[in-house]
Amino acid sequence: MNLNTSNHEDWKNLARECAQGAIYDSSERLPHSKCLPNTRVSSESGSGKSTIMHTLADELRQEGTLAGTFFFSRKHTKRSTFERVILTFAYQLGLQHHFAQEVIMKAIHDDPALLSSEKSPRDQLEKLVIEPLRAMAHIWKDKGGASLILDALDEGTSDGTHHIVSFIRLLLLLIRDDPLPIPVQNIFISSRLWSEIRSIMHDSSHQGLVRTVLLEQYDSQEDVHIYFQERFRRIYEVHELSWLVDQPWPSDDVVAMLRE
């Protein structure tokens, strides 16, 4: 794509203002923890919701339906508030297709204040996310729509929790945009279930749009069984135990006992 000098500067400014480290496969998030195949568990210690969300992002990217990600973190300034979420989504959309990038660059050229945290989030969403998504509608149409992922929403509250409800309602505009449909099929959000988050998830006005999945209610016994099998397989291969003991090692009964 040929950009004039002004547009090129606008794109560079967007790249600086967004939270590069919040993108799911960024170097800031290394090491990337992923679920074992066909499970919701990981071989990395201390991993949980973020592992699931990273694995989901990877799968959606391979399917070509990942529109953008934002992984919050209270340890990193740019990732500890909601201020840079829209800008970061816009940057990822612009990278995916020149149609989206052209729309974003024109919007910033017409109104440079869109890059400011003082700008209306509704204006930012409309100009930098919704309009680019519409420009890409034909790309995702045959794939059933695109998906957005936000991980650890509760860690985006360094400036207080009062923004949570308005932020989630803002995101719901991406799904509710009926007059001019946009290709957002799913918005996946992981978070601790704080009272502010619980209130909007159970709001009757969002019925049919929001679904809550409690991971603590997930029966993980089969996943744990697969996890033990995978770890023991690695031990068996790394230490070359084939000359000492035949497979399966340990026996299924032993693995079942450990699972319990």
At a CB cut-off of 8 Å and minimum separation 6, what does 142 contact?
none
pLDDT at 113: 96
Ranking 27-31, 41-45, 247-251 by mean pLDDT, the lowest is 41-45
The total number of residues shown for the chain amounts to 260
Beta strand 146-151 with 184-189 is: parallel
pLDDT at 116: 95
Rounded to an integer, what distance in angstroms lies between the CA atom of residue 142 and that of residue 138? 8
Q: At residue 42, does pLDDT exceed 90?
A: no
pLDDT at 3: 47
The per-residue pLDDT of the chain, averaged, comes to 81
Q: At residue 254, does pLDDT exceed 60?
A: yes
Q: Report, as an integer, the average pLDDT of 108-137.
A: 94
Structure tokens at 106: 């024109």
Share of the chain above pLDDT 70, in %: 78
Of the ranges 18-32, 40-54, 239-253, the best mean pLDDT one = 18-32
Q: Which of 174, 173, 160, 211 is nearest to 189 (CA)?
A: 211
Q: At residue 1, does pLDDT exceed 90?
A: no
pLDDT band per the 50, 70, 90 thresholds, residue 93: very high
Q: At residue 217, does pLDDT exceed 60?
A: no
Residue 188 CA to its chain's centroid (Å): 7
Of the ranges 124-128, 151-155, 173-177, the best mean pLDDT one = 124-128
Q: At residue 72, does pLDDT exceed 70?
A: yes
pLDDT at 239: 72
pLDDT at 17: 96
At a CB cut-off of 8 Å and minimum separation 6, what does 133 contact?
67, 93, 100, 146, 174, 182, 183, 184
Q: Report, as an integer, the average pLDDT of 171-198.
A: 78
Q: Between 212 and 173, whose confidence is greater?
A: 173
pLDDT at 84: 96
How distant, in Å, are the alpha carbons of 66, 99, 167, 183, 212 from that of 139? Answer: 12, 10, 27, 9, 29
pLDDT at 5: 64
How distant, in Å, are the alpha carbons of 6, 86, 223, 232, 248 from that of 252? Answer: 65, 49, 14, 11, 8
Of the ranges 13-22, 180-189, 191-200, 225-234, the best mean pLDDT one = 13-22
Q: At residue 59, does pLDDT exceed 70?
A: yes
Number of CB atoms found within 10 A of residue 103's CB: 24
